[in-house]
Structure 1
Amino acid sequence: MSDAVQTPLLSIRDLKVAFRGQKTEREVLHGVSLELFAGETLAIVGESGSGKSTTASAIVNLLPGTGHVTGGSIMLDGRELTTLSRPQMERIRGREIGYVPQDPMSNLNPVWSIGFQVKEAVRANGIAHGRHAVRQRAIEVLKQAGLADAERRLHQYPHQFSGGMRQRALISIGLAADPKLLIADEPTSALDVTVQRVILDHMAGLTREKGTSVLLITHDLGLAAERAEKIVVMQQGHIVEAGPSREILENPMHPYTQRLVAAAPSIASKRIQAQAERRGIEHETTLDDVPAVRVRDLTKDYKIRTGGFRSVPFRAVDAVSFDIPKGKTLALVGESGSGKSTVAKMVLKIEDATAGLIEIDGKDSSTLDTREVLALRRRMQPVFQDPYGSLDPLRNIGNTIAEPLEIHEVGDRASRRARVVELLDQVSLPQELTSRYPNELSGGQRQRVAIARALALKPDIVVLDEAVSALDVLVQDQILKLLAELQSELDLTYLFITHDLAVVRVVADDVCVMEKGRVVEHGTVDEIFANPTQEYTQRLLDAIPGAAIPLGGAR
């Protein structure tokens, strides 16, 4: 080996980071050490609060609030970063270290065009000079990131881009100066699995072509094992395990790593599939003549404005049909825009269908009067994707859970308080949370509160719209187990909306795969996973993170 190969591009030694309080200082990184070589991809894996993003922020000297490095060393290409002045560090950011953050909606300014923001990065990094040269470089980097018609896209705003397009814009900014190191902090966690795969494939191609090293931050061990040569596992500011990806996946040594492997939906999905194949495809069916939910030829049309007073029809849902037996789970699966959530809104009577039939326990929901619709909503409750957005920040947890009881005038104040305590216990939350507010809770706790609120009226049917997609794999695993326990205990029927077939494999009995408003495949979970008949379904299966990795000895 040459000296260049043996010398790491990034070397972190005994890194310590703390945050100052009014009277005390709290250390959050406790002696982190790792090495990343030129052209290599290293993944840092762990749940929220493990120190992944803090490590990344320390490398670029962008620690939030009162955070500061209290000890250790960060060397980039032989240069110590912790001792650099602010102007010196600003010259390294962008030019030598690119950064792709997690949430494109928070990290792209909504009032500036995409072109303005990309050109700003080009100018700041000194890549091009002069108005024309800066514009041409901005177009070039957008094209490199896979955005077609980049000249026109320059003039559009973030809200006019899809999630995948916004992430491509951030990747183009991160790679605009051809940096030696790219830090990608959960770059695709908010995207559909198929879009995620396209984005990661493209990012891998660009970094491979330019010889860029990648530090990938993720909570998904399956994704890390598929995309990185090496994995570092972090817990509570410590590195608890590190090594080659395949070795970590197949033979995790630390109990925390073992929990991450067990909780990763992609790995659990493969394990369940292998078990199904060994025993032969079996599926318990119910002969109940009246399903909890029956949908026939459900259709929804919208009118889309095209300019002036003109509008054109758009069919969001096209002749969708399915049944959900009582006490079972049907998963509606597909990419963003496939019509899944629109179906859920029509089942919940939030939107009216253009055509078709929805029966709840054999009764046509379109014939219900206002009083009957209110009664139906007591029996059918939603849990939405974003626990940050679905809880009122101005209402404490007790009032949030009691809100449906108040709206439907169930019980008096004392009985509602008792019901709140009972619900908190059902979702494994302590009673003392009643006086706290959503911002004081973790994402997993917030989603448990959302589930408790949905159960307040003792519904028969729960519609879960991407209810676990925003959560870390460990928290996601806890919520999925909780939902399974509640279904068994309360005989609940679930309509489970998701883009992630790995999660479906763990929780559902039956699956409807949706594409462009239509159901393209429908069957039991075992059937869909073992023998998908549609190319689109196979693409969704192939896009599961870690799908290409053999199961091997993973436990």
Structure 2
Amino acid sequence: MSDRITASSDEQAPLLKIRDLQVGFQTTEGVVPAVRGVDLTLMPGQTLAIVGESGSGKSTTAHAIINLLPGPGRITGGSIEFDGKELTKYSEKEMEEIRGKLIGFVPQDPMSNLNPVWSIGFQVEETIRANGIATGRKEVRAHAIQVLREAGLADADKRLKQFPHQFSGGMRQRVLIGIGLSSRPKLLIADEPTSALDVTVQRRILDHLETLTRDIGTAVLFITHDLGLAAERAEQLVVMYKGKIVEAGPSKEILQNPIHPYTQRLVAAAPSLASRRIQSATHESATHALSDLDYAPTSVTEGLDLIAAAEQRLEHLPTTKRPDAIVVKDLTKVYKIRGQGRGASGEVIASDKVNFSVEKGTTTALVGESGSGKSTVARMILRLEDPTSGSIMIDGQDVAPLKGKQLLDLRRRMQPVFQDPYGSLDPLRNIGNTIGEPLHTHKVGDRTSRKERVLELLDQVALPQSLITRYPNELSGGQRQRVAIARALALKPDVVILDEAVSALDVLVQAQILKLLADLQAELELTYLFITHDLAVVRVIADNVCVMQKGRIVEAASTDDVFDNPQEQYTKELLNAIPGAGITLGV
């Protein structure tokens, strides 16, 4: 491990001190180590971020602190001292007094951590009562509204009676943040707390966390894959790899001058506003062929051969406008919602006369705040919801009247990758059957060829083939998202709708998946509609950008135009809110 660690003040005792932490998971083949000798020191009011790729042990370390490891997980060695108390010796009942009241926790996956049959208000109020923060009915309700507003839900009082499925992914994440902060804990463990949030809400939430740290001394332990966020918000940074800490120290110093080779790889893979569009292997091959012409050929024949090779490799690259794969005209979606009183109701316009088109073989990104209507547009294009008015054309075909076999054929050519990987994967179906499900549904190939295709897809998304018999609850969030992407690619579709498809991935896997998507697009002429709140990712994957605000598209142009010369104030605010935008990362 790098020895670049700043000394802590001797005058103040650490709030959290972890020494030689060992965590293992019991399997049929013995104990598999997940965390191996981790040392951490967190002072009161300090913010520390743990970064590393999916499966590096970040979340396992966080769960070990509050003794919430999955069933087969066990702390096999080491010490966890919190506020002078040795937590590894605490009983379950004693830990219940610590969890929530003194150590708040914001989990990574909002849908699987909110009960779908209980209203949002009930779940927030239940936490407040359990932690003894408030007792009277009115007092509990008022506190619930307050913490949700602090977490970014301005209309919290109107939404208490709604259920998790009626909230966007970002709104659900805000509910979890509100629950985690409700008792004003001494330590808040935040596992990817803003991965589902757009940059403007993310900034508001993180500003609020900073206020807590400053005013009441709450320390924050971030688990994140966003290096910009870590550099901007955390004083100290810990880099984990294969269950061990490989580098630790001041955040900006590490990210601007990484020492360990693994940290250098992380920093190099991180997308930023300075990035440019990822080039596919086809484009890179052509570029290399052209660069060969910088060298003087030894003969006229060799020179002509070089030119011919370059022309052959460039002939598949786009030179003229291609037909539109997706055309959306005046697309409108109005939801009717129940009001507070008997028989009362109202309307919410989620999509308001949206117009855009996507050329075949290109990528268009829909960006905007959570609740701006991005995902609603995607669901209507996929025919998972019917529009109130307007039209959707896929390859010149109106999708509105399609039913039965025609609709099934459309869905074979158009596949989704949803925002919430756990919610979109069947917990009772193993990974092999999950990825092969589209092949079985559309009767593609026999059992042997399907299995070969599944193994091929696992390789493509950088997952070991041994996962084929595992289940979603045995995978990390990033691994589950890669399974979802593999399933979407199984049928080799023409159009892929990606709803926050890389938001749960660490930067190394994210870079690999984005490169894979670019290569597949060039090879198969895939068309992507990329829905995201991560503008740094938009910079490297999209050809064109549509900025949405309150159900409307307020700006639409090429990616370079939007980033280099934004016209709308709202677009400028989105760009300015990107975490770490002003920090230059080193390599």
C-alpha change, 1:151 and 1:220, in structure 2 (3 Å) is: closer
| Structure 1 counterpart of 2:276 | 272
| Structure 1 counterpart of 2:220 | 214
| Structure 2 counterpart of 1:534 | 568
| Structure 2 counterpart of 1:237 | 243
Separation of aligned partners in 1, 2:129 and 2:35 = 34
Structure 1 position 394, deviation (Å): 4.7
| Structure 2 counterpart of 1:280 | none
Q: For structure 1, which segment, 350-359 or 137-146, has the greater mean C-alpha deviation from structure 2 after superposition?
A: 137-146
| Structure 2 counterpart of 1:201 | 207
Structure 1 position 486, deviation (Å): 0.8
> Match of 1:538, as an amino acid?
K
Q: For structure 1, which segment, 151-160 or 233-242, has the greater mean C-alpha deviation from structure 2 after superposition?
A: 151-160
Match of 2:78 among 72, 79, 87: 72
| Structure 2 counterpart of 1:191 | 197
| Structure 2 counterpart of 1:336 | 370
> Match of 2:353, as an amino acid?
A
| Structure 2 counterpart of 1:297 | 330
Equivalent pair of 2:26/2:72 in contact (CA under 8 Å): yes
C-alpha change, 1:58 and 1:310, in structure 2 (3 Å) is: closer
Equivalent pair of 1:326/1:492 in contact (CA under 8 Å): yes
Structure 1 position 229, deviation (Å): 0.7
1:475-486 equivalences in 2 (<5 Å): 475-486=509-520
> Match of 1:468, as an amino acid?
V
Deviations 1:408-459 (A, max 9, x none): 4555666656655665565566667666655566555554554444344443
| Structure 1 counterpart of 2:533 | 499
| Structure 1 counterpart of 2:283 | none
> Match of 1:272, as an amino acid?
R
| Structure 2 counterpart of 1:554 | 586
Structure 1 position 219, deviation (Å): 2.4
Equivalent pair of 2:225/2:505 in contact (CA under 8 Å): no
Equivalent pair of 2:329/2:390 in contact (CA under 8 Å): yes
Separation of aligned partners in 2, 1:124 and 1:348 = 42
> Match of 2:80, as an amino acid?
I
Equivalent pair of 1:10/1:36 in contact (CA under 8 Å): yes
| Structure 2 counterpart of 1:315 | 349
Structure 1 position 82, deviation (Å): 3.9
Q: Secondary structure at the match of 1:272?
A: coil
Q: Secondary structure at the match of 2:276?
A: helix
Q: For structure 1, which segment, 150-159 or 313-322, has the greater mean C-alpha deviation from structure 2 after superposition?
A: 150-159
The number of residues matched between the two structures is 541
Structure 1 position 349, deviation (Å): 3.8
> Match of 1:288, as an amino acid?
K
Separation of aligned partners in 1, 2:161 and 2:410 = 47
Separation of aligned partners in 2, 1:406 and 1:81 = 49
Separation of aligned partners in 2, 1:314 and 1:128 = 33
C-alpha change, 1:108 and 1:398, in structure 2 (3 Å) is: closer
Q: Secondary structure at the match of 2:78?
A: strand
Equivalent pair of 2:112/2:422 in contact (CA under 8 Å): no
Q: Secondary structure at the match of 1:292?
A: strand
Q: Secondary structure at the match of 2:351?
A: strand
Structure 1 position 496, deviation (Å): 1.4
Structure 1 position 250, deviation (Å): 0.8
Equivalent pair of 2:331/2:391 in contact (CA under 8 Å): yes
Structure 1 position 468, deviation (Å): 1.9
Q: Secondary structure at the match of 2:81?
A: strand
1:379-418 equivalences in 2 (<5 Å): 379-395=413-429, 399-410=433-444
Match of 1:39 among 29, 45, 48: 45
Q: Secondary structure at the match of 1:270?
A: coil
Structure 1 position 332, deviation (Å): 1.4
C-alpha change, 1:334 and 1:399, in structure 2 (3 Å) is: same
1:448-467 equivalences in 2 (<5 Å): 448-467=482-501
C-alpha change, 1:339 and 1:91, in structure 2 (3 Å) is: closer
1:63-462 equivalences in 2 (<5 Å): 63-65=69-71, 67-84=73-90, 89-108=95-114, 167=173, 170-265=176-271, 267=272, 269-272=273-276, 286-288=319-321, 290-306=323-339, 314-366=348-400, 372-395=406-429, 399-410=433-444, 438=472, 443=477, 446-462=480-496
| Structure 2 counterpart of 1:516 | 550
Structure 1 position 71, deviation (Å): 3.6
Separation of aligned partners in 1, 2:380 and 2:159 = 34
Separation of aligned partners in 2, 1:300 and 1:209 = 43
Equivalent pair of 2:478/2:504 in contact (CA under 8 Å): no
Equivalent pair of 1:5/1:38 in contact (CA under 8 Å): no
Does residue 1:54 correspond to 2:86, yes or no? no
C-alpha change, 1:435 and 1:120, in structure 2 (3 Å) is: closer
Q: Secondary structure at the match of 2:522?
A: helix
Gapped runs of 5+ residues in structure 1? 274-283
C-alpha change, 1:316 and 1:478, in structure 2 (3 Å) is: same
Structure 1 position 373, deviation (Å): 4.6
Structure 1 position 100, deviation (Å): 3.4
Deviations 1:376-421 (A, max 9, x none): 4443333333333334445555554554445445556666566556
> Match of 2:238, as an amino acid?
V
| Structure 2 counterpart of 1:9 | 15
Gapped runs of 5+ residues in structure 2? 1-6, 278-316
Deviations 1:289-330 (A, max 9, x none): 622333333333444455766765543322222222222111
Q: Secondary structure at the match of 1:519?
A: strand
Separation of aligned partners in 2, 1:431 and 1:69 = 28
| Structure 2 counterpart of 1:489 | 523
> Match of 1:293, as an amino acid?
I
Structure 1 position 464, deviation (Å): 1.9
Separation of aligned partners in 2, 1:372 and 1:135 = 50
Structure 1 position 251, deviation (Å): 1.1
Equivalent pair of 2:378/2:497 in contact (CA under 8 Å): yes
Separation of aligned partners in 2, 1:292 and 1:149 = 38
Structure 1 position 524, deviation (Å): 0.9
Separation of aligned partners in 2, 1:301 and 1:451 = 30
Separation of aligned partners in 1, 2:404 and 2:135 = 65
Deviations 1:164-192 (A, max 9, x none): 66555554554455443332232222333
Separation of aligned partners in 2, 1:366 and 1:155 = 33
Equivalent pair of 2:46/2:213 in contact (CA under 8 Å): no
Q: Secondary structure at the match of 2:488?
A: helix
Separation of aligned partners in 2, 1:33 and 1:120 = 35
